[in-house]
Amino acid sequence: MAIETTYRDALRTAIIEEMERDEDVFVVGEDIGRYEGTFKVTKGLFPKFGSGRVVDTPICEPGFTGIAIGAAMTGLRPIVEMMTMSFSILAIDQIINHAAKIHYMTGGQAKVPLVIRGPGGAAHQLSAQHSHSLEGWYAHVPGLKVVAPATVEDVYGMFKQAVRDDNPVIFTENPGLYGIKGAIPEDKDFTVPFGQARVAREGKDITLVSYSRMVHVCLGAAEALEKEGVSAEVVDVRSLLPLDTATIYGSVRKTHRAMVVYEDWRSGGFGAEIAARIGEDCFDDLDAPVGRVGGLNVPMPYSRILELECTPNEDDVLAAVRKLG
């Protein structure tokens, strides 16, 4: 039987179940204990597991990320919560120069089973310093795995997969998804493998490729296009690194048109990488250039009206598809 829940609660359930399953799993971050986290993902963990496994830290991302890396090298399995993924910038040396490189630089003698998770992308008026979509930065780095689940089932299954993985995983959760509802299985060993995209909606005229919250934007746009006589297929990438190009290419070779939609800044965002690969490897299958819809290349405004203007929506996708022809 499936259990109805929210994205936030599915994530919390996955954390609790993994901590119950393996005593080496612990959580570390700012205000995650007594305060229960800014987005309340860690609600109830502190009284259940205590201060030894739910570790409140000072405001020092390089420090607690470095401690977690060291703990992972000794065989523990830390879960690092970034209050927002924007703050992971402060720990980027630890993440890129150390977590991502240690296994390689030790000739495979050391592993870093580490999950770095938190909200990434625009929320409601968190302004320029708290609204970054950094998954493309991290997907640029060999040695990391980077995932961005869009559904309740995927956030549950992919988080379990992340905790059990022997590599450092960047696990980004769009804050706009925390309240959506869906179902998770009763099987506590249910996992969703990395590197497997899914077709979220079948179609025959154009492929919309996306991940995280933009999958839902694409599904809404696909419904609107259906009323115009355009059948849009929606591919949810799910895992940026490793990236499942086979599923993406299979869809593009069926529809012969592709539009990549991502919340990150349009210039240099991960969607540009997906578009480039489609253009290189599916050139002879395309009946039109690969299109892209991304966020505006500006710091995120505080104004709610301007914030919405800077973030891709269904109308943006519809306009881009119509322009593509």
CA distances to 62, 70, 90, 111, 242 from 94, rounded to whole Å, are 6, 10, 9, 15, 21
Instruction: Name residues whose C-beta falls within 8 Å of residue 223's C-beta, 6 or more positions apart in sequence.
Output: none
Closest CA to 317 of 224, 240, 202: 224
The answer to whether the Cα torsion of 101, 16, 20, 182 is positive or negative is negative
DSSP-based three-state secondary structure for 140: coil
Instruction: Name residues whose C-beta falls within 8 Å of residue 249's C-beta, 6 or more positions apart in sequence.
Output: 278, 281, 282
The DSSP bridge pattern shows strands 145-147 and 239-241 to be antiparallel
Compute the residue count for the chain.
Answer: 325
Catalytic residue set? 61, 130
What is the spatial distance between Cα 207 and Cα 190, in angstroms, rounded to a whole number? 29
DSSP secondary structure letter of residue 79: E
Peptide bond into 242 cis (omega under 30): yes
DSSP-based three-state secondary structure for 166: coil
> Which residues are registered as beta bridge partners of 191?
none
The DSSP bridge pattern shows strands 77-81 and 291-295 to be unpaired
What is the spatial distance between Cα 109 and Cα 90, in angstroms, rounded to a whole number? 28
